[in-house]
Amino acid sequence: MSNIVILTGAGISAESGLGTFRDEGGLWAQHRIEDVATPEGYARNPQLVTDFYNARRAQAATATPNAAHRALVKLETAHVGAVTIVTQNVDGLHEQAGSQSVIHMHGELAGALCARCDHRWPATGDMVPDDICPKCKASAGRPDIVWFGEMPYHMERIEQLLSQADLFVSIGTSGNVYPAAGFVQAARAYGAATLELNLEPSEGASLFDDTRLGPATQIVPNWVSEVLAQ
């Protein structure tokens, strides 16, 4: 299995203390998607949306990578072929653990984006709504998060990776949100083997060749040990 592409979701960071979206008591049980994760919601109430991401940024800053993040670093270091992580997560735990090849398709809490000129800059602490863009000086700063109705980042690169994958692995994602939820079908169509590692079967569980269920901190290190022993 030379080229491995790994899609991660909120479930891989759950045991680092970051809540998922759709599990019981998850973020989308506490906040309406339309209010905090759409361009229309931001236009209606930028302060509410900014506060929501400020709170998540502060929470993510206190979290540390867990055994699942660390196992993926070990895989990237020791596997003979390429290992690429495509993450839906906006936390920085893969990088904090030491992963080098990470693609953030839904943006990052650590970034600010100018809605006018697409310039990006670091957001380390709290943001303010419509902050001044350091490049074009427009009052158009926003969290660098892909909201519903917006195009996820790096899609061409991801499609290319899927087309070259020998193995596609999905970790800790419910399979509710497209285009990520469709990656398993794309990878299969390109000829990759497919594996799901999740706490419970996802929406697309039947699309995978193989599924292993359990907490990420157990099943991810176990799977990595197997791959490296092959």
CB 99 within 8 A of CB 73: yes
Cα→Cα distances 221→55, 65, 73, 174, Å:
30, 13, 10, 20
Which two three-digit tokens encode residue 141?
Answer: 């700063």
Which two three-digit tokens encode residue 212?
Answer: 């292993």
Which two three-digit tokens encode residue 158?
Answer: 């991801």
Nearest to Zn ion of 32, 135 (CB atom): 135
Q: Report the 10 Å Cβ neighbour count for 15.
A: 17
Q: Which of 93-101, 115-123, 193-201, 222-230 is the region at the interface with ligand OAD (rule: CB under 6 A)?
A: 193-201
Q: Which residue has the tokens 């019981």?
A: 24
Nearest to Zn ion of 83, 113 (CB atom): 113
106 near ligand OAD, judged by CB under 6 A: yes
106 is catalytic: yes
The interface partner of residue 177, options being Zn ion, ligand OAD, none and the CB cut-off 5 to 8 Å by kind, is ligand OAD
Q: What is the phi/psi pair of residue 218, to 5°? A: -100, -50
CB of 165 to ligand OAD, least distance (A): 19
Catalytic member of 94, 106, 119, 154 = 106
Which two three-digit tokens encode residue 78?
Answer: 């020791």
* Among 116, 164, 215, 228, contact with ligand OAD (rule: CB under 6 A): 215
String of contacts with Zn ion for each residue 123-152, x by CB under 5 A: ----------x-xx----------------
Write down the H helix ranges in 63-108.
67-78, 93-97
Segment 9-68, which members bind ligand OAD (CB under 6 A)? 9-11, 14-15, 20-23, 26, 37
Q: What is the phi/psi pair of residue 89, to 5°? A: -80, 145
Q: Tell me the catalytic residues.
A: 106
Rule CB under 6 A: which residues touch ligand OAD? 9-11, 14-15, 20-23, 26, 37, 88, 106, 146, 172-174, 176-177, 198-200, 202, 215-216
